[in-house]
Amino acid sequence: MDKKEFDKMNVFGQGEPNVNFAQYFIGDSFLNPLTVPGECPVFLANVTFEPGCRNNWHIHHAKSGGGQLLICTAGKGWYQEEGKEAVSLTPGTVITIPANVKHWHGANKDEWFAHIAVEVPGEETRTEWCEPVTDEEYGKLEREVS
């Protein structure tokens, strides 16, 4: 799918370059907040990944509650929890990520990808950013679907 066709599918909009979190991504991502912190107790944002873009391994810590939901809206991507097989993401896929689970997500090698990220409210929540997903780890996934 080319970028023009992807943009038509990406109904929540690409948003702006994700500069505040760029250090935790390989490739370029874009962020379009859908709720305003302080006005809504749940933060939602459409995150768009260029082809090959993925975030680092990370953990959404919480004493109680917390975690993250991913609602896939356009393109194709990946989600993987530490120690488990990667899951292919397509529009309509919903991923529930419990608090305190190490994981990563991002676009397929040759596809733009977008999901709505939902930060689940909880007690003493914080995100711990870990190591990047290596080219070897990522390339292995791409070879599996070729």
pLDDT the model gives residue 135? 93
pLDDT the model gives residue 145? 56
pLDDT surpassing 60 at residue 100:
yes
* Other CB atoms within 10 A of residue 124 CB: 11
Tell me the CB-side half-sphere exposure of residue 25, using CA atoms within 13 A: 22
Beta strands in 1-146 (DSSP E): 16-17, 25-26, 29-33, 43-49, 54-55, 58-61, 64-65, 68-75, 77-81, 87-89, 94-97, 103-107, 113-119, 122-123, 126-129
For residue range 4-34, list pLDDT tens digits in order. 999 999 999 999 999 999 999 999 999 999 9
pTM of the model: 0.94
pLDDT surpassing 70 at residue 44:
yes
Q: What is the mean pLDDT of the chain?
A: 95
Q: Report the C-alpha gap between 73 and 28 in whole angstroms.
A: 18
Q: Report the C-alpha gap between 48 and 26 in whole angstroms.
A: 13
pLDDT the model gives residue 38? 87
Q: Report the C-alpha gap between 6 and 54 in whole angstroms.
A: 18
Q: What is the mean pLDDT of residues 89-117?
A: 97
